[in-house]
Amino acid sequence: MSDFEPDRDETAFLAGCEAARADIAIGRLIYRWTGHAGHWGHGIVTQLAHRFGVEVNEGFGICFVDTSSRSFDEGYNNVLVAEIERRHGSGAFESLLKESRSQSEESLWDAKQAWQNRQQLGERGKS
C-alpha cells in the first residue's frame, strides 16, 4: 500500500462482499458509488442500467465517506463487478468505464439530464 492510499477496514470490506452476494442471490444488482462522480459519472450510471441492468445506490455523488463505508463499498463492488463479468464477459465493466470517459460533453450532459429525470420520477412514485 502506498502512502497515498487510504487504509482499508477489512471487516467492512468483507461485510460488503457478503452483502453483495446476498443481493445478487435475490436478483438485486446495485453498484455502490460514493465520492466524486467525475464529469462522466452520469454516463456510467446510464450505461450500467442499460447494458447490465445495474442500479446505482442513493449515495451516488456524495463525497463524504469514511474508511469503513469506502471499504464496504469496495468489497461490495468487487463482488458485483465479478458478477457482471460472469454474465457479460471478461472486461465488460472496464470497457464501459473506458467508453464513458471518452464521451463528448454533449452526450454526458444528456446522460446527466436523463439520470435526473429518472430520480425525479422515482421521488414522485414514493409519495
Q: Where are the domains of the chain?
A: 10-126
| CA proximity to 14, closest of 76, 57, 67, 77 | 76
Q: Is the pTM of this model over 0.85?
A: no
| CA proximity to 84, closest of 48, 57, 111 | 48
DSSP for 60-110 reads: TT-----HHHHHHHHHHHHHHHHHHHHHH-TTHHHHHHHHHHTS-HHHHHH
- What's the rounded Cα separation, in Å, for the pair 45 and 59? 12
| pLDDT tens string 46-100 | 889 889 999 988 766 666 778 898 899 999 999 999 999 999 999 999 999 888 7
